[in-house]
Amino acid sequence: MTNSTPSSPGQTFVRFDLLQRIQHIIFLISFSVLGMTGLPQKYPLAWASTAIFNLVGGIENARAIHHTSAIVMMIVSLVHVLEALYRIMVQRTPISMIPWIDDILHVYQDVLYYLGFRKHKAYYGRYSYAEKAEYLALIWGTIVMGATGFMMWNPISTVRFLPGEAIPAAKAAHGGEAVLAVLAIIIWHFYHVHIKHFNKSMFTGRLTREEMQHEHPAELAALEAARPTAPIQPAELRRRQMLYLPIAFILLALFSYGFYFFIGYETTAVTTPLLGETAPVYVPATLTPSPVPSPTATPNASASLTWNDTIGPLLQTKCGMCHGAASPTGLSYDSYANFMQGGKNGPVVVAGNSASSKIVVLQTAGGHPGMLSPDELARLSEWIQAGAPEK
């Protein structure tokens, strides 16, 4: 980072080393994937959300991808913490990312410039206030998203220690921060880094002198004015590294445990129970029994076996509904005379010969809509056999 020789216009300046560039690429990929799988969960029925769910094969897959990307982002964040710590503790690099009073002054100067009251922009140092603001927003956002994401990923464990309301609050914060971060990137980052002037240093690692003059004139001046600094003595470097290593190790252990916790802790948050109606579905009521034929009294054995006493009442009760005055075949049992006379198909009784009597034949064969009981039929046959007396 030191540069003692006089600068030439074609000269380039190292801005980001390889590790920083790798961090940026992985972070931007995980950020984009998180946004693309997270926002559809916030707005699930928007057409774009539906398209993304279709693309990844469902909201569960979107969630799984979201979780995976979150882990990737956390690992990049850990690398960044360890790296920043190394720069600060071992290399003693100036902390150039933290906003300072200069930055407020620069904002003021720039506003005046944009409004036309100043001839030139503020002279930025290594990082401009726009870059510092974005870096701080990223740190704040990563912490908020990580914490609230953890709470939503492991809600049951979370409410062991926090009130239940923490979960919906985490959801509100996670969604709110997501919208803020994505839109801020689109408006602020895209304008400053891609539109205003496509700054490729995050991918190439270098800025030309001309770019430095435009973007970081104060840094360029400082670099060109600086005297060469002596490299750190090996013994001093070792001492600082020995101090750094245990701290880094503890951080690494804590983070690793945190990741393990994040991924594997709560695997039983949701079971898939048998949902739905469990009551027996088909339980027929005890139905009202259908009407069954009322039992007919056995013919009075002691009564005399005549039409008037026994057979007439029997036939009128059992058969009279059809074979009454309005009989369809004209065969009516309402009087002895009508019964003996028969219907339009002829008489049904041959007095003295029950076997030849049609009524006995039909009743014995069965299948007639109205049927006498075997007992009743026996009495009827006996009566016919006896000459079918009226009285």
Partner 1 sequence: MTTPSSQRRTIWWIAAGMLALLLGISLTTRASAGQPAQETEKYCLSCHGNPDLHMTLPSGETLSLYVSQDVIKDSVHSPLGIECEACHTNLSTYPHPAVEYQNKRELSRALYQACQKCHSENYKKAQDSMHAQAATAGNAEAPVCTDCHGAHDVKIPDQPRSLISETCSQCHTDIVNTYKQSVHGEALLANNPDVPVCTDCHGVHNIQDPRTAQFRVQSPELCAGCHANKELMAKYGLNADVYDIYKRSWHGVDISVYKARWPTIQHSSAVCTDCHGIHDIRKADDPNSHVNPTNLLATCQKCHPAAGPNWTDAWTGHNQISLERTPFLYYVNTFYTSLTPLVLWACILYVALQIIRAIVDRVRNSLP
Q: Is 94 in the site for partner 1 (CB under 8 A)?
A: no
Q: Is 374 in the site for partner 1 (CB under 8 A)?
A: no
Burial class (CB in 10 A: 0-12, 13-18, 19+), 263: middle
- Determine the Cα–Cα distance for residues 55 and 62; give it in Å rounded to an integer: 9
Question: Angle between the 312-319 and 374-385 helix axes, to the nearest 10 degrees?
Answer: 140
Q: Is 337 in the site for partner 1 (CB under 8 A)?
A: no
Q: Which is nearer to partner 1, 130 or 388 (CB)?
A: 130
Q: Which is nearer to partner 1, 24 or 192 (CB)?
A: 192
Q: Which is nearer to partner 1, 324 or 347 (CB)?
A: 324
In this chain, which of 162, 232, 251, 351 binds partner 1, going by CB under 8 A? 162
Q: Is 264 in the site for partner 1 (CB under 8 A)?
A: no
In this chain, which of 55, 58, 243, 375 binds partner 1, going by CB under 8 A? 58
Spell out the residues 6+ positions from residue 241 whose beta carbon is closer than 8 angstroms to its own. Answer: 90
Tokens of 134: 């974005």
Q: Which is nearer to partner 1, 116 or 346 (CB)?
A: 116
Q: Which of residues 2-41 bind partner 1 (CB under 8 A)?
A: 41
The one-character DSSP state at 289 is P
In this chain, which of 280, 346, 365, 387 binds partner 1, going by CB under 8 A? 280
Are 41 and 63 in contact by the 8 Å Cβ rule? The answer is yes
Q: Is 172 in the site for partner 1 (CB under 8 A)?
A: yes
In this chain, which of 101, 225, 279, 301 binds partner 1, going by CB under 8 A? 279
Q: Is 269 in the site for partner 1 (CB under 8 A)?
A: yes
Element at 136 (helix H, strand E): helix 129-153
In this chain, which of 229, 233, 290, 302 binds partner 1, going by CB under 8 A? 290
Q: Is 377 in the site for partner 1 (CB under 8 A)?
A: no
CB atoms closer than 10 angstroms to residue 38: 22
Cβ burial 119-131 (10 Å sphere, 16+ → b, else e): eebbebbbbbbbb
Residues pairing with 207 in the sheet: 13
- Determine the Cα–Cα distance for residues 346 and 331; give it in Å rounded to an integer: 9
Q: Which of residues 110-139 bind partner 1 (CB under 8 A)?
A: 111, 113-116
**Shortest separation between residue 18's beta carbon and partner 1, angstroms:** 31
Nearest to 213 by CA among 205, 200, 223, 203: 223
CB under 8 A: which stretch of 264-272, 308-316, 336-344, 375-383 binds partner 1? 264-272
Q: Is 164 in the site for partner 1 (CB under 8 A)?
A: yes
Question: Angle between the 166-184 and 18-42 helix axes, to the nearest 10 degrees?
Answer: 120
In this chain, which of 234, 264, 284, 387 binds partner 1, going by CB under 8 A? 284
Residues pairing with 343 in the sheet: 346
Q: Which is nearer to partner 1, 329 or 353 (CB)?
A: 329
